A and B are shown apart, each in its own frame.
Chain A
């Protein structure tokens, strides 16, 4: 059971790497990495927690999993917003750009 979970997590990490290599846009690559590998690493850590025997090891694995699930979306949000606002990094947001309206509104309020 634990080994099957770890194998599924490794497969998700491999899929994330495939997306990171193949996608054409910085924000798309970040999307591939964040979605797939948060769940992938959480599955690997959960499988490890089901497999190891000692309680200390279980606690370490579950703590690492909780921290990863909590911090990975926050870090990705910071990175993608910084990338969006930085000059010179092309992005292909071509349908609805709600962040532009929001950033414009906050800039007007601030300045």
Chain B
């Protein structure tokens, strides 16, 4: 069951990576990057569930916070710059 979750997250990561590389506007690239952060946090959690080793779980909290701050900063940037 965990392996099926890994496969789904890998496919989702490929989709978000495509949008990060190809997205025509800066917003699309931010959307792709946000999705990749979500995939990364999910993989950390699945790995902790599989092995029972929780040493990486604080990284999930930190990545969540960094993702929010980077989104807010890029939003200010887009508002001034356009496209």
Q: In this assembly, does A79 line the interface, its C-beta being within 8 Å of a C-beta of chain B?
A: yes
Number of A residues near B (Cβ < 8 Å) is 54
- Would you call the interface of chain B mostly helix, strand, loop, or mixed? helix
Name the residue in A7, A9, A63, A79 with the highest tally of chain B Cβ atoms < 10 Å from its Cβ. A79
Q: In this assembly, does A52 line the interface, its C-beta being within 8 Å of a C-beta of chain B?
A: yes
Do residues B60 and A29 form an inter-chain contact, with CB atoms below 8 A? no
Output the least CB separation between A7 and chain B (Å): 5
Q: State which residues 1-45 of A face B: CB under 8 Å.
A: 2-4, 6-7, 9-11, 13-14, 16-18, 20-21, 26-27, 29-30, 33, 37, 40-41, 44-45
Contacts of B71 in A (CB 8 A): 75-76, 78-79
Give complex CA distance A38, B52 in Å: 24
Contacts of B35 in A (CB 8 A): 13, 16-17, 20, 33, 37
Chain A to chain B: the 4 pairs with minimum beta-carbon distance, closest first:
A17-B15, A57-B54, A17-B12, A88-B83
